[in-house]
A and B are shown apart, each in its own frame.
Chain A
Amino acid sequence: MKTSTASGTTTSDLVPAGPPLHGPGHGTGSEGRRPRRGIRRHLPYSPWLFAAPGLLVVGAFSLYPFLSTLVNAFTDRRTLVPGEFVGLANFRELLDDEMFWIGLRNSSLYVLGVVPALVILPLLLAMLVQRQIPGITFFRSAFYTPVVASIVVVGLIWVWMLDDRGLVNSVLEAVGVGRVGFLSDQWLLLLSAMGVTVWKGLGYYMIIYLAALANVPRELHEAAAVDGAGPVRRFFTVTVPAVRSTMVLVGALSSVAAFKVFSEVYLMAGPSGGPAGEDTTLVMLVQRVGTGLSGRVGYASAISVVVFVVTVALMLLVLRADRKEDA
């Protein structure tokens, strides 16, 4: 049973979260009786007891691995050999590791290439499928299909399509353009992977925008139309300000996901990370150096720490930009 306290908050009968419901001298019924001393002594701990299962799971599967990675980054631990403390040696080695800089470059390029597309294109798509016309549900579902498809299947399909002798190249050859090395040229490969990420993410962010667009008051559009604003002007003066916080959210989510990209590039560029490893991303590098029987767990952890710091910085940057706009 829930009751309202004097402060207006809602609390359970047994949790003394606010002023006593019945102070001394107020009422004589059983409701007014104070909890027994033994129970009362344990009351402050009871929320933690309820939270304990959740905390255990979070501790074991999130906090512990995270702390473990942090510690490993300062050791020379390998898969089968427990590490010794080496201070900042792993981070110093990173500075001289050409592959680390290639990974950092590619992960950063991925953010720059993918995030603007994933902020803008799903919004346009959402506006398109927002209209209530017959059969629109089909299109909404169709656009969402790539989201539910397995990334491995998606990757393989695009590899077949973009192969030197695949569908896309056959069409290009038929129209006289000639074959394009989507999967053999370093930059085209990265661009192709970005295209797949955008294609797969469109539906997901479209759904988020659809929810945001549903909350934009129709009157604003009507008023703007009465004032003579055309569709483009209404988009910039009504729609964009109304969904700005959603755009920030999409920007933050997609930039973190883009910086940590693995599957698309791994599937399209192969385990070696494209020609001469030039398409390797940071997370691919973590997987390459940190796994297997000879894996350098300590060094891979140091790269993971860099990935963590950059993703946190990205989040803060996007959120700070949003706060500045608000001010």
Chain B
Amino acid sequence: MRINRRAVAAAAVIAVVLPLSACGGSEAGSSDASGKVAGKITFQTWNLQANFKDYFNGLIADFEKQHPGTDVKWVDRPAEGYADKISADAAGGTLPDVVNVSPDLVAPLAKAGLALDLDKAAPQYKKEYLPGAWDAHRVPGAEGTYAFPWYLNTGPLFYNKRLLKDAGLDPEKPPTTYDEVFDAGLTMARQSKGKVAALANVPTIEDFGRYGVPLMNEDGTAFSFNDPKGVELLTRYKELYDAKALDPQALTATPESSGHKFLTESVAMNPGSALDLANFKKQAPSLYKNIGITDQITSTGKANMYVMGVMVNARSKQKPAAVAFAHFVTDATRQMEFAKQVAIFPSTAGSLDDPYFTEEDGTDETRVRVAAAKSLKTAVNYTPVLFSEQMKTELRNAVARALQGKQSPEEALDNAVKACDRLLRQS
């Protein structure tokens, strides 16, 4: 059979040109969200369906009742690969109308014009939230706020009283400063002949932040965590690593694997959140008997907090309904209801003054909750919103090179900053 050469050539050209045309431009959608709240919208959450199905179904039913003519379709995505799923949707033009995001996910979406600027589209809601939380979804180099703040989280440092006692340390006087953490770690490693490590994780960007290291310049155009304070932190960690006070597998550990080491009592200290307490009780009763709880270690006086947000797709066809729903999910009433179901904290103004967050009843749960709520009033999200996953890997690899002695802490951090700056320019 003769094949039409022109047809083949045309098909080849289409196949070659089509990928280039995919994704389209990054033209921003209009910020106008005024109009009737109606229509069908899709709401995407981040691994919440398994435990909070009834809460969200009730919330959606309430919204639909309040706004006749609206129809909310709820989709939940697993935690694993959530960013990849969003990027596939964003690239394919199928991003849901309302999306559960963290600040680092918002930044690239805002840059691509896919996140609605709430300072323009919904400024009337700003006063309802804690100022720090409202600002959490700002992107350096761009004006505006790109997601409603949702729940906040922070947590104490958990420690194993038995392991501290075995090392000759006073379990009732846990470390309160970085210096004390490092000294306690070295003592524990020495006493146990390297069998018990104090920590299971290498320092991350928020550790550098809590240590008081300036992470970025004021314009958000370059990283600066290679300053002398950053070098000092990494040098102290190298001392820990050399003395086996840092778990030998810390260089390849994930937060999950280091949490597992704490559960199995091979590591003495682990930063966590109020969510972990129930987990210890259920999964490791023997650890729970020995659990010690102390304030998050920080040299700045401000704890680290994690912020969740709810973003509105700037290209949503039902923008009024999407904005109304995103606000509904994150308003004070709904956040308070959600906080009573799970150990998270509302980002709405005044909510943290509720007796639920200020009064202890003598249990560990309320003690952690009250302490965390108190620290949240001044807490900071130390992870820069422009710090991408690839940048995290660059920092992690640089830290590993320094700990292994392949590079000096100074050289390793200089290289990491160089690599992160390059990635920042390319983003």
Residue of A nearest to B105 (CB): A293
* Residue pair A272, B252 in contact (C-beta under 8 Å): yes
* Residues of A37-75 contacting chain B, CB below 8 A: 44-45, 47-48, 63-64, 67-68, 71-72, 75
Residue of B nearest to A294 (CB): B388
The docked-state distance in angstroms from the alpha carbon of A65 to that of B2 is: 27
Chain B residues, Cβ within 8 Å of A63: 15
* Residue pair B251, A44 in contact (C-beta under 8 Å): no
Q: Which candidate, A78-86, A114-122, A134-142, A255-263, is the interface stretch facing chain B?
A: A78-86
A44-B1, A288-B393 known; A294-B108 Cβ under 8 A: yes
Interface size class of B (residues with CB under 8 A): 35 or more
Is residue B50 contacting chain A, with contact meaning CB distance below 8 A? no
A78-B427, A289-B390 known; A274-B20 Cβ under 8 A: no
Q: Which listed residue (A71, A75, A165) contacts B266, Cβ 8 A?
A: A165
* Residue pair B108, A269 in contact (C-beta under 8 Å): no
* Residue pair B23, A276 in contact (C-beta under 8 Å): no
The docked-state distance in angstroms from the alpha carbon of A206 to that of B423 is: 46
* Residue pair A184, B19 in contact (C-beta under 8 Å): no
A81-B26, A291-B84, A294-B427 known; A275-B251 Cβ under 8 A: yes
Q: Which listed residue (A45, A71, A79, A270) contacts B20, Cβ 8 A?
A: A71
Interface string of A81-98 (1 = CB under 8 A from B): 111000000000000000
Residue of A nearest to B253 (CB): A270
Residue of B nearest to A182 (CB): B249
Is residue A113 contacting chain B, with contact meaning CB distance below 8 A? no
Chain B residues, Cβ within 8 Å of A288: 390, 393
Interface string of B380-411 (1 = CB under 8 A from A): 00000000111001001110110010100000
* Residue pair B87, A67 in contact (C-beta under 8 Å): no
Residue of B nearest to A81 (CB): B26
A164-B249, A294-B108 known; A80-B400 Cβ under 8 A: no
Is residue A146 contacting chain B, with contact meaning CB distance below 8 A? no
* Residue pair B253, A80 in contact (C-beta under 8 Å): no
The docked-state distance in angstroms from the alpha carbon of A292 to that of B82 is: 9
Residue of A nearest to B22 (CB): A82
Is residue A183 contacting chain B, with contact meaning CB distance below 8 A? yes
* Residue pair A183, B252 in contact (C-beta under 8 Å): yes
Is residue A271 contacting chain B, with contact meaning CB distance below 8 A? yes
* Residue pair B111, A80 in contact (C-beta under 8 Å): yes
A45-B1, A82-B22 known; A276-B390 Cβ under 8 A: no
Is residue A195 contacting chain B, with contact meaning CB distance below 8 A? no
The docked-state distance in angstroms from the alpha carbon of A151 to that of B100 is: 30
Is residue B112 contacting chain A, with contact meaning CB distance below 8 A? yes
Chain A residues, Cβ within 8 Å of B109: 80, 293
* Residue pair A292, B87 in contact (C-beta under 8 Å): yes
* Residue pair B90, A293 in contact (C-beta under 8 Å): yes
CB distance from B165 to the nearest CB of A (A): 21
* Residue pair A271, B393 in contact (C-beta under 8 Å): yes
The docked-state distance in angstroms from the alpha carbon of A144 to that of B16 is: 43
Chain A residues, Cβ within 8 Å of B111: 80
Residue of B nearest to A76 (CB): B426
* Residues of A175-198 contacting chain B, CB below 8 A: 181, 183-184, 189
CB distance from B247 to the nearest CB of A (A): 7
Chain B residues, Cβ within 8 Å of A82: 20-25
Residue of A nearest to B261 (CB): A165
Chain B residues, Cβ within 8 Å of A64: 15, 18-19
| 18 A–B pairs (Cβ distance < 8 Å), ordered by A | A64-B15, A67-B19, A77-B23, A80-B90, A80-B109, A80-B114, A81-B26, A82-B20, A184-B248, A184-B252, A270-B254, A275-B251, A275-B400, A276-B397, A276-B400, A289-B390, A294-B388, A296-B426
Q: Give the 6 A-B CB pairs with smallest separation, nearest first.
A: A68-B19, A276-B400, A80-B112, A293-B108, A275-B251, A294-B388
Residues of B within 8 A of A (CB): 1-2, 15-16, 18-26, 83-84, 86-87, 90-91, 105, 108-109, 111-112, 114, 247-249, 251-254, 257, 264, 266, 388-390, 393, 396-398, 400-401, 404, 406, 423, 426-427
Residues of A within 8 A of B (CB): 44-45, 47-48, 63-64, 67-68, 71-72, 75-83, 163-165, 181, 183-184, 189, 269-272, 274-277, 288-289, 291-296
What 5 additional pairs, Cβ within 8 angstroms, besides A80-B108, A81-B26, A272-B397? A164-B248, A181-B248, A274-B252, A293-B86, A293-B108
